[in-house]
Amino acid sequence: IYEPFDWKNYMKATNSQPAPAQCFKQSSSPPQNDFKLDQKLEALDPRNLTSTCIATVVGILGPRLRLRLDGSDNKNDFWRLVDSNEIHPIGHCEKGGGMLQPPLGFRMNASMWPQFLMKTLSMAEMAPIKAFKREPPVPAGNFFKVGMKLEAVDKKNPMLICAATVGEVKNDMVHVTFDGWRGAFDYWCRYDSRDIFPVGWCAKSGHPLQPPGKKAQGGTNRYRARVSNVQPSTMVPAATETDENTPLSLRKEQSKSSG
C-alpha cells in the first residue's frame, strides 16, 4: 500500500515525524562518491580495529563503498561511507609511523605478508586523496526521541539501508527498529553512529532505500491473501529458527498470527 515508497505519504499515514538532521553525524548534503571499482585504500580491519589493512573497492552504492581486505576472503566484505574516518589513502598509516597489517584471517602463511603486501601495492590503483571526504562533526548531544523516523543500515544485511523508527533512547544510545519487520533486525547504536541517516538521505544520495516490510504496523497482516497466490517454487521454506528474518507476510500460514 506504500508502493512506490514515499516517506511523505508514509509519515502522514503513520502520523509520524522524521528525526531532524541535527540528530545525525552525517553531512547535510551527502558526499559525492569519487571512488572507482578496484581502487585500493587503507582501512581499519573491522574485526580488529587496531590494525590498518589494505582494502579494495569491490562495490559502490551512493556515497558508500563495499570494501574487501586484501589477503582476506570474499565473505567478510564491509561498507564504509566516503567520509568515514576509518578509511584513508594509501600511505597514511606509514606517515603516522604505523605499519600495514595482514587482515584477521589472512589466507596465507603469516611469513608471506611482507611479500604479499609488496606485490599488492605494486599492482595497486590507489584511490585519489580527493576521494576521501572529511568526517562530519558529532552532534552536540543525543537529540533522538522515541517514534522518530530515520533511515538505517540493516547490520545483518549491511548493503541495505531501510526505513526505521527510534524505539527507545537511553543516554547516548538509540534503539533502531525496522518498520514492518520483527525485532530480529533491531539494534542499539550510539546517537553518533555512521549507520543511521535522516529521512530522505537515500533519495538525495542516490542510494537505494528498502521500504518498510509488509507486516502492517501493529495490526493484522493484510498481505497474507495476496502472497499465498505466489507460485509454490517461489514460496519461502518452512519456518525455522531464522523465521524472524522473514516478514510476517511471507511466513507460512501455521505460524502464529500475532500482531
Q: Which of 72, 165 has the CB closer to ligand MLZ?
A: 165
Q: Interacting stretch for ligand MLZ, rule CB under 6 A, among 46-54, 88-96, 121-129, 154-162?
A: 154-162
Q: Please report, as residue ranges, which positions from 86 to 115 form the binding site for ligand MLZ (by CB under 6 A).
A: none
Q: Is 162 in the site for ligand MLZ (CB under 6 A)?
A: yes
Closest separation between CB of residue 51 and ligand MLZ, Å? 30
Residue nearest to ligand MLZ (CB): 178
* Residues 20/27/141/176 CA torsion (nearest 10 deg): 60
Closest separation between CB of residue 207 and ligand MLZ, Å? 15
- The closest of 54, 127, 132, 129 to 93, measured between CA atoms, is 54
Site residue total, ligand MLZ (CB under 6 A): 10
Cell of 43: 582501512
Q: Is 177 in the site for ligand MLZ (CB under 6 A)?
A: no
**Helix or strand run (H / E) with residue 196:** strand 196-197
Other beta carbons less than 10 A from residue 47's beta carbon: 13
Cell of 110: 603469516
Beta bridge mates, 88 = 42
Closest separation between CB of residue 117 and ligand MLZ, Å? 36
Q: Which of 144, 178 has the CB closer to ligand MLZ?
A: 178
Q: Which of 97, 218 has the CB closer to ligand MLZ?
A: 218
CA-only gyration radius of the chain, Å: 21
Can you say whether residue 206 is alpha, beta or left, with left for phi > 0 and alpha for psi between -120 and 50 degrees? left
Interface with ligand MLZ (CB under 6 A), residue from 56, 72, 165, 246: 246
- The span from the CA of 141 to the CA of 127, in Å, is 34
Q: Interacting stretch for ligand MLZ, rule CB under 6 A, among 73-81, 98-106, 178-186, 251-259?
A: 178-186
| Terminal alpha carbon distance of the chain | 18
Q: What is the 8-class DSSP label of residue 18? A: B
Q: Which of 34, 244 has the CB closer to ligand MLZ?
A: 244
Interface with ligand MLZ (CB under 6 A), residue from 45, 77, 83, 154: 154
What letters, b where the CB count within 10 A reaches 16 and e where it falls short, cover 72-111? beeeebbbbbbbbebbbbbebbeeeeeebbbbeebeeeee
Q: Is 202 in the site for ligand MLZ (CB under 6 A)?
A: no
Residues forming contacts to ligand MLZ in the complex (CB under 6 A) are 154, 157, 160, 162, 178, 181, 185, 210, 245-246
